[in-house]
Structure 1
Amino acid sequence: MLPWFAPLSGRFDEVVFESTVLKDNPLHDPFERPLWIYLPPGYDDEPERRYPSVYMIQGLTGQLDMWRNRSAFRKNFPELADELFARKEAPPCIIVWVDCWTSYGGSQFVDSPATGKYHTYLCDEIVPWVDTHYRTLPARDHRGIAGKSSGGYGSMITPMLRPDLWGGLATHAGDALFETCYLPDFRQSVRTLRSRYDGSIDKFWQSFQSRVAFTQSGDEGPMNDLCMAACYSADPDGTIHLPYDTSTGELIPEIWERWLAWDPVRMAPKHAASLRTMKAIYIDAGNRDQYFLDLGATAFYNELKRIGVKDIFFELFDGTHSSIEYRYPVSLKYLAERLTP
């Protein structure tokens, strides 16, 4: 392979989308967001043809331009996706790369009074705009969503919240089964907050903003906890509540329950009827995932089977949470085949 970006067989439209719902968001993050639309080979040659669409959403701390990062000796996902369609190994799709970054590192793709209306942004602004400006098949049975980690989380919950829009999902090591992926790390967060910030998440945040990010050991835990609390357990006025006592790590039951209400494993039974109508569900994770998201993937799969969802792709592959971009074409092919009429 060439060690730099090569010409594509399809093409990208790169636009700046001005959001209405993200204006005046609590963090004063940009309401003008980059948006990439990938058009497969042949799109410009067949003006009457319409295509299924797959929306790609990013993991925690991800920004849109990071999709073009590459691991050593590997192609990045935009290149791999283009190669998939150029070789005719999957039915052609329109792919939409959406940016839902926040100053806390992410939005979990939910509406929150502490971060902004990112679920509404994705579902009620981006999707209609894409369907208006591109030749999509504008029906839920031909629209899918996919991502890794927090993006995998968003890919699980977004179709549950808006089954009218989404007929397929793919989650790579998405956040799930919160007692295994979040709770164990609270202990180290408490020690970091206690030793450096007098047990105050606000003091941590002030310090984090004043220096180069992640330059002190232990930053990752409090940063993750702050972001998740902003998404899962913020009051209507934007006040953020951590689910544990910052001096001991003891769980605060009423706050932890608010987190658990957002766990895809626990959400699935409430959305069983719509999940059973999905055209495509893809779940995978590395069997050595550092955040134990293979356990969450298995629990989500088991819960879907329990509530009667059929025809699910599920695999635990030999790998970790890192550098798994080579898995994305596998799920893209799966979605493309099932979302194409």
Structure 2
Amino acid sequence: MRLKAVIACAALVGLANPALARMEKTTVHSVAVEGNLEGNSADRTVYVFLPDSYDKSKTRRYPVVYFLHGYNSTADQYVERNDFDAALKASGTEAIIVVPDSMTKWGGSMYSNSPTVGNFEDFIAQDLVTWTDKHFRTIPSRDARGLSGHSMGGYGTLKLGMKRADVFGALYAMNPCCQIPRPASSADPKYEGWSVDQALTADWMSRGNFAVATAWSPNPAKPPFYADLGTSGGKVNDLVIAKWAANSPVAMASQYLPSLRRMSGIAIDTGDTDFVRADDELIHETLARFGIAHDWEIYVGDHGNRVKERFRTHVLPFFTKHLKGSTR
């Protein structure tokens, strides 16, 4: 069934503006997210960007680049900031771009499976990929699927790339967060006494602790957060800290070397003044230590000021090189 473009201005100008006509916004129902304890919706906003040739070459099939947004943001915000349709047109990349929304109660799913948050890893790697292959003329194979993302989305790119190498064939992580195992010092006893309302109105870093806990140490028997928060009775819970550390790509890498070696390409970048630079340098060093080929760059910039530019000048050309069917 054909999707409807729901951009208001596109309704006014029709097909006169090809950039707008090539963007479609819809809702995808995820069975994987159903029934989560936080009440996060299983109906997820998804943007799809089609190359200029899509409606001209009716029999041609295309590779797909899936882009994962960062923490405390939505797909709407990333689409507004980063002009994906213009980037696709300017780069000449012959691929479909899919941008799903993974915003949750605490600001982000960490692209992980959790009974508390919902199974967002499965949403991306199963539900969304299946839906995209059904509704668009894709090349339905891993060597024609790329995964990219920024910040939390960069984290998700590396994590899902390791765990779902049967689905994705190339990875580009932009300023990925959360590479270093989360330290015990991040488990603050004060959170034990907080109410849900108090936590929801806290600063984004504090809310990030709840996002991490609900994604990586869920506990359905422990309302109201349905998670182990890192401390118990004011003392650090070593088991919880171990669970958090186990979700670090630096800790995961040695267990997924065959998956990483299957990739046709891996790229990681970070800004020279980025607050996650140390994380990113460590995952680069870890991959290098195990002989995993990858592109690595520290560029002049911070955590987010060059995402729009670099998606056009680096990310899309990377996938043109590494994905099957991405050239004219």
Aligned twin of 1:297: 280
AA at the equivalent of 2:227? I
Aligned twin of 1:288: 273
**How far apart are 1:251 and its partner, in Å?**
4.2
SS in 2 for 1:276: helix
* 1:12 corresponds to 2:18: no
Distance 1:63 1:264 in 2: 23
Aligned twin of 2:229: 242
AA at the equivalent of 2:291? G
Distance 1:276 1:78 in 2: 29
Output the aligned Cα RMSD: 2.4
Name the stretch that deviates more: 276-285 or 330-339: 330-339
Please point out which of 36, 40, 47 is paired with 1:29: 40
Alignment of 1:1-341 (within 5 A): 8=19, 11-70=22-81, 76-85=82-91, 88=92, 91-179=93-181, 182-183=182-183, 186=186, 190=188, 199-201=190-192, 203-209=194-200, 213=201, 219-235=203-219, 237=221, 239-244=226-231, 251-290=236-275, 293-310=276-293, 312-325=294-307, 326-329=309-312, 330-341=314-325
Q: Which runs of 5+ in 2 are unaligned?
A: 1-8, 11-16
**How far apart are 1:30 and its partner, in Å?**
1.6
**How far apart are 1:332 and its partner, in Å?**
2.1
Aligned 8 A contact 2:220 2:227 in 1:
no
**How far apart are 1:175 and its partner, in Å?**
1.9
AA at the equivalent of 2:141? A
Distance 2:39 2:114 in 1: 14
Distance 1:315 1:38 in 2: 27
**How far apart are 1:306 and its partner, in Å?**
2.0
CA 1:8 to 1:302, structure 2 compared with 1: closer, same or farther past 3 Å?
same
Aligned 8 A contact 2:184 2:236 in 1:
no
Query: In the TM superposition, what whole-angstrom CA distance separates every residue of 1:84-131 from its partner, at most 9, and x where no partner exists?
Result: 34xx3xx31100011111111111111112211111111111101111
Distance 1:285 1:259 in 2: 23
SS in 2 for 1:104: coil
SS in 1 for 2:283: helix
Name the stretch that deviates more: 44-53 or 230-239: 230-239
Name the stretch that deviates more: 299-308 or 159-168: 299-308
**How far apart are 1:201 and its partner, in Å?**
4.2
AA at the equivalent of 1:338? H
TM-score (norm 2): 0.85
Aligned 8 A contact 2:163 2:259 in 1:
no
Q: Which runs of 5+ in 1 are unaligned?
A: 71-75, 194-198
AA at the equivalent of 2:77? M
> 4+ residue stretches of structure 1 with deviation over 4 A?
4-7, 244-247
Q: Once the two structures are aligned, what percentage of the paired residues are identical?
A: 27
Distance 2:305 2:195 in 1: 29
SS in 2 for 1:13: strand
Distance 1:84 1:185 in 2: 45
Distance 1:37 1:252 in 2: 43
